[in-house]
Structure 1
């Protein structure tokens, strides 16, 4: 769904191809590892930032598949709730890739600034 305000599109959805879906599944599996668990640090009350040294290596195949490799910043974030948390981007577009939430796990997303 796209939301348009003042002739600007704020949100766009697109379907992932098969290779991108496989890359996303690998990220989901990585985030579900328990030994050792993926490292997150609280960045705000309901916003945790991934600080795991394996993060970029793990998400890079998906970023390449979606042509989102950038030097402006990539984050994996977790919003443990119960409140929502905003995503900010100083300039230019920000791409938010939601990661499937399994029952009993905390939701996570990839945020790419390009």
Structure 2
């Protein structure tokens, strides 16, 4: 059994801004966290594991962890293919072409 090591850092976008809500998972496990409002994260992970960073609209990135690491910098790249129109429903997301139920649009003024 491998010892857990602390890993911390910050996830940013191509403009250098912190990305909140990025899922940070140890590949093949349920060990993970989400980034804070400024893109920072802190996680204890098994040594010699791989972290997966994923968020909607960005390409998933992986990073091998060989020991305790601090101040990791991950820059997520926009995934232009994933930025197509998406319909958000109460039980998940679907593309508009696969939608078989009624659709309503709500704009900011209506809210």
| TM tier, smaller | under 0.3
Which one has the bigger helix percentage?
A: 1
Bigger CA radius of gyration: 2
Higher relative contact order (CA 8 A, sep 6+): 2
TM-score under structure 1 normalisation? 0.23
Instruction: Name the structure with the higher strand share.
Output: 2
